[in-house]
Structure 1
Amino acid sequence: MSKLGYKLITRITLALLAVFILTFAMNTYFLPKYFLYQKKEKLASLTAELSSVPADALDSIIPKLEQARDVTIVYTSLAQNTDDLNDRILRQLNLKGITLSKFWLSEENIALLRAGSRVNKLYDQAKLKSSFLVNFLPSGGNVLAVGESISYSKETIGIVNRFNLYIWASMLLLLIVLSALYTARIVKPLAKLNDTAKSIADLSFTHADIRTGDEIESLAGSINRMSDKLKASQQSLEARNANLRTFIADISHELKTPLSLIQAYAAGIQDGLDDGTYAEVIGRQTKHMAGMIDQLLELSRLQTEIYELMPTDFHRMLTTTIDDYRAAFRHKNMELIVDDKLPEEAWVMADSRKLESVLRNLLSNALKYAEGKWVRVAAEVQSSAVHFSILNEADTSQEAKWGQVWEPFFVMEESRSKQLSGTGLGLSITASILQKHHANYGHAAQDGTVEFYFSLGVMEL
C-alpha cells in the first residue's frame, strides 16, 4: 500500500474510533442524566398544570391526565400526621399498580409542603431495577403526588453500547475496504502525475492521460498545459541561444574587421605611409563600431527604461517621418507609396521619441532590404485604433526564418558577405518599444511580399 493510502486509511480509522469513543462516553455518562432531566421537566410541567385545578375537580381530571401523560397521580390531606400521610399515599399507589419498597416523606418534607413549597423525590427500587420519580405539591389543603416509573438506564445503555460496537466495527471494516479502493483510485492517477512531473524535470515534456472526472483530472490538464508551455519556452530559449551564439560570432567578425583596419592604418601612419586618407579610414571604421555598440546599448536600455506616455498626434508624426525618407527612397530609385486614410488629427498615448524610432526603424528596414522597386505605407483608424502597415517585396520562401525576425540577433541572411545584412537588432528594438506601448504588432510574409504592422488605441478628446 502506498504512503498516501496508508495515511488516509489510518486517519479515517482514527476518526471513526474517536467518534465511537465519544458516543460511548455520551451514552454512558450523559444520557442517563439527560433522560432524568427530561422526566423532571415533564413532571414539573404537569404539576404546574395541576396547581391551578380546584380541589373538587381533581377526581374527574386526574384519570384523564394519567392516561394522556402516562403518569400516576394520587392525593391526600395534608392535615394528617406523618405516618398516616405516607401510609395513605402508599396505599393509593398500590391500588394503581405502583408497589414501592422504599417510600417516605419526612417531617421536613411535609413542613415544606404545608408552607406551600414543592418537593421532588426519587425513590430507588433496586429489586425492580427501576426508580420512581415523584413531584409533591400542595393544593387546597391536600398534597398531590405526581409520579412516573423510570427504568434503570445502565443495563439498557450497556446493551445499546454493545449493539453500537457491532455496528461501528462493521462500519470500520467497510470503511477500510472502501478507503483502500478509493485511495487506489486517487493514488494511481497521482503516481502518473508524479511520473509526468519527473519527466518534465528531465526535460522530457510528456502528457499525463488521466480521466477521473474530478480535480485530479483538472490538475493533470494543468500539468499538461504547463508541459506544453515549458516545451515551447525551451525551444524558444534554444533558438535564442542559437541566435546569440551566431550573433556573438558575427559581431566578433564585424568588430574584428574594423579593428584590423584601424590597427593597419595606425601602423601605416606611424611608418610614415599616410597618403592623407588613413585618418579618414580610421574615423569611418570607428564610427561603424560605435554604431553597432550604440544599438546594443539601446536594446538593453529599452528593456528597463521608464516610458513617458503622453498624448501624441500620430498623423503629424507619420507625415513628418515619411517626408524625411522621401529623398532616400528617390536616391535608390524606389517608389514610396503612401495610403494615408488617417483623420487630420489622430491622438494616441505614446512616448513620442520612441514611437518615432519605431517608424524610422520600419522605414529604414524597408529601404535597405526591399527587393523590388516600391514600398507601400498605409495608415487608417479602425475599431478605435490607429493601424499602421508597411509592405514591400521580399523572398518569402523561407517561412521558418520569417517567424524569427523579431528575435534579437537574428538576420535573414546568414552570410555576412552582404554589406547591409546588419546586426539583427533593429526589429528587436522595434518589438521592445511596441510591447512597452501595449501595441498589437506582427508581420505577414507570403506571396513574395512582407508586411510589418502595428496598432495603437486612439484617444477620445
Structure 2
Amino acid sequence: MTKLNKKLSISISIVVVVVYIMSITINSMFIHRYYLHEKRNVLDNIADEIKHKDINKLKSDIDSIEEENNTAIVYIELDKNYKDKGNIDKINQDLLSEFWKKGLSLNKFWIEGNSLKNLDNKSINKIYNQGKTKYSLLVKFMKKDNYLFAISIPIEHSEETIGIVNKFNIIMGVFSVIIITILTFILSNRVIKPIEKLKLLSKDISELNFRTEDIKTNDEIEELAYSINIMSVKLEKAHNELNKRNENLKSFISDASHEMKTPIALIKAYAIGMKDGLDDGTYIDTIIEQAENMTNIINVLLYWTKYEKREVNLCRVDLKERLYKSLKNYELLIDRGGISVKCSIDDKELIMISDEDSIDMVFNNLISNAIKYTSNNEIEISLFKENDRIILSIKNGIDYDIEDDIENIWKPFYVLDKSRSKELSGTGLGLTIVRTILEENNFRYRVEICDGIIEFYIIFIKST
C-alpha cells in the first residue's frame, strides 16, 4: 500500500467513525424530543379543528377525527361551578369514565384545579406516564363553549428502542468502517496506481529515459498520461536531433579545421621561402590562391550559419520558373564548356508551397556540380509531376570511381580531385547545404551512379 493509499484510507475511516458517533449522539439527544414535537403538532391540529367547528357537528365528526389521527377524544359538559374544589374529583372521574368507554384504562390521570382555571385563556398539554404498560398518554385539554375536551394520543417509551438502535448503529458503524476502508483501498488503487506510474514516468523522462506509459482510466488522468506520452516522444525526438547536430558539429569542426589547416600551412611555408630568398616567382601566386581558398571556405561557412538562423518564408513556388532562372545563371559557363543541356520539363503546373531561396540554393548547387564534373559534356534535366509529387532528376557523366563510397559526396568538404571549371571550384559544402535543405523540408532524395552516369534524384512530396 502506498503512502497516499494509507492516508486516504485512514482519513475516510476517521470521517466515517466521526459521522457515526455524531449520528448516535444526535439520536440520543434529539430524537425523543422530535417525537414529542410531532405528537404535539397532531394534537394542535385537532384542537384547531375543534375550535372552529360547530359543537353539534363536532360531536358527530369525533369518530372520524379519532380514526384519521389515531387519537382518542373525550368530552364532558361542565356546569357553572366546575372550578370549585368539590367538582374536581367529579370532573376527573367523568373523564376517566369517558376514556374507559373508548377502551383506555388509565392508571394515572388527573387534572388539577389551577389547570381548569387556565382553560378559559388557553389549552393545556399534559403527559401521564402509565407505568408498567411502557407508554405515556399525551393529553391536550381545551374548553369549547361549556364543554371540556381531552384529546389524547399514546406515546411509546422510545428510550429503550433508541438504545437498541444506537447499539445496532455502533455494530453497523464498525462493519461500515471495515467495508469502506477496503473499498477505499480498492478504489484509491485505481486512482493512485496510475498517478504512481506517471510519477515514475516523469522521473525517467527527467533522467533522459524517454518512454511512454499506457494508462486507461477514461478520465483526466488518462488525458494527463496522453499529454506526458506526447511530451516524452517529442522530447526524445528533440534530444536525438540535438545529439545528431552535436555529432555533426563535431565532425564539421574537425573537417573545417583540417581544410583550413592546409592553406594556412602552405601560406606559412611559402612566406618562409620568400623570406629565405627561395621564391621562384610563383610563391606569391600560391599564397594568393590559398588565401582565396580560405576566403571561399569562410564565406560558405558564414552563409551556412546565416541559413541555419534565418526565418523560412513559405510561399507558392513555381519550380519550372526557378529551374529556368538557375539555368540562365550558368548559361555563359555552359556555352564556354560546350556542354549540351537536355531539358525535359512537364507541361503541367509545377507549383508547391516552400521557401523560394531554399529551392534556388538546391537548383544552383546541383546544376553547378553537373557543369563542374560532367565527363561527357552532357547534362540531362527532368522535372515532372507524378500524382501529387514533383520529381527532379539531374544526370551527367562522371569519370571518378566513387560508386562504393557515393554517400561521401554529401559530407562537408568532400571535393573531387578534378574540375572542368576553375570558376566553379568550390569548398565541398554545396551538397552538404543541399542535403540540409532537403531534410529540413522532408523531401526525399538519392544519388546513384550507373554506367558512368551520376544522377541526383529529388522528390518534392507536396504540390498544389
* Shift in alpha-carbon separation, 1:269–1:41, aligned structure 2, 3 A: farther
Aligned ranges 1:407-426 → 2 under 5 Å: 412-413=410-411, 416-418=414-416, 421-422=428-429, 424-426=432-434
- Contact preservation (8 Å) 2:75, 2:148: yes
Aligned to 1:242: 247
- RMSD value, Cα: 4.7
- Contact preservation (8 Å) 1:342, 1:380: no
Secondary structure (helix, strand or coil) at the match of 1:277 reads helix
Paired AA for residue 125 in structure 2: K
Residue number among 92, 98, 106 corresponding to 2:98 in the alignment: 92
Residue number among 161, 165, 176 corresponding to 2:170 in the alignment: 165
TM-score by length of 1: 0.71
Do residues 151 (structure 1) and 156 (structure 2) align? yes
Q: 1: CA distance between counterparts of 2:112 and 2:436?
A: 107
Q: Which runs of 5+ in 2 are unaligned?
A: 417-425, 449-454
Per-residue CA deviation, residues 56-99 of structure 1 (Å, 9 max, x unaligned), is 12332112221222112122346553364752445433543152
Do residues 337 (structure 1) and 339 (structure 2) align? no
Do residues 72 (structure 1) and 78 (structure 2) align? no
Q: 1: CA distance between counterparts of 2:246 and 2:113?
A: 105
Do residues 127 (structure 1) and 125 (structure 2) align? no
Aligned to 1:443: 444
Paired AA for residue 346 in structure 2: D
Aligned to 1:437: none
Per-residue CA deviation, residues 11-52 of structure 1 (Å, 9 max, x unaligned), is 232122122122212212232233233223333333333333
Secondary structure (helix, strand or coil) at the match of 2:443 reads strand
Aligned to 1:49: 49
Secondary structure (helix, strand or coil) at the match of 1:101 reads coil
* Shift in alpha-carbon separation, 1:79–1:246, aligned structure 2, 3 A: farther
Secondary structure (helix, strand or coil) at the match of 2:429 reads coil
Do residues 322 (structure 1) and 327 (structure 2) align? no
- Number of equivalenced pairs: 422
- Contact preservation (8 Å) 1:374, 1:392: yes
Secondary structure (helix, strand or coil) at the match of 1:290 reads helix
- Contact preservation (8 Å) 1:119, 1:135: yes
- Contact preservation (8 Å) 1:137, 1:144: yes
Aligned to 1:406: none
Q: 2: CA distance between counterparts of 1:361 and 1:415?
A: 17
- Contact preservation (8 Å) 1:368, 1:420: no
Paired AA for residue 71 in structure 2: V
Per-residue CA deviation, residues 176-211 of structure 1 (Å, 9 max, x unaligned), is 445556667777777676666666555555676888
* Shift in alpha-carbon separation, 1:141–1:263, aligned structure 2, 3 A: farther
Q: 2: CA distance between counterparts of 1:258 and 1:390?
A: 37
Residue number among 290, 302, 309 corresponding to 1:301 in the alignment: 309
Paired AA for residue 114 in structure 1: D
Secondary structure (helix, strand or coil) at the match of 1:99 reads coil
Q: 1: CA distance between counterparts of 2:208 and 2:223?
A: 22
* Shift in alpha-carbon separation, 1:288–1:148, aligned structure 2, 3 A: same
Aligned to 1:18: 18
* Shift in alpha-carbon separation, 1:218–1:323, aligned structure 2, 3 A: closer
- Contact preservation (8 Å) 1:361, 1:427: no
Q: 1: CA distance between counterparts of 2:43 and 2:447?
A: 98
Query: Shift in Å at residue 55 of structure 1?
Result: 0.7
Q: 2: CA distance between counterparts of 1:308 and 1:79?
A: 115
Residue number among 252, 256, 271 corresponding to 1:251 in the alignment: 256
* Shift in alpha-carbon separation, 1:105–1:325, aligned structure 2, 3 A: farther
Query: Shift in Å at residue 167 of structure 1?
Result: 1.4
* Shift in alpha-carbon separation, 1:452–1:119, aligned structure 2, 3 A: same
* Shift in alpha-carbon separation, 1:148–1:212, aligned structure 2, 3 A: same
Q: 2: CA distance between counterparts of 1:340 and 1:35?
A: 99
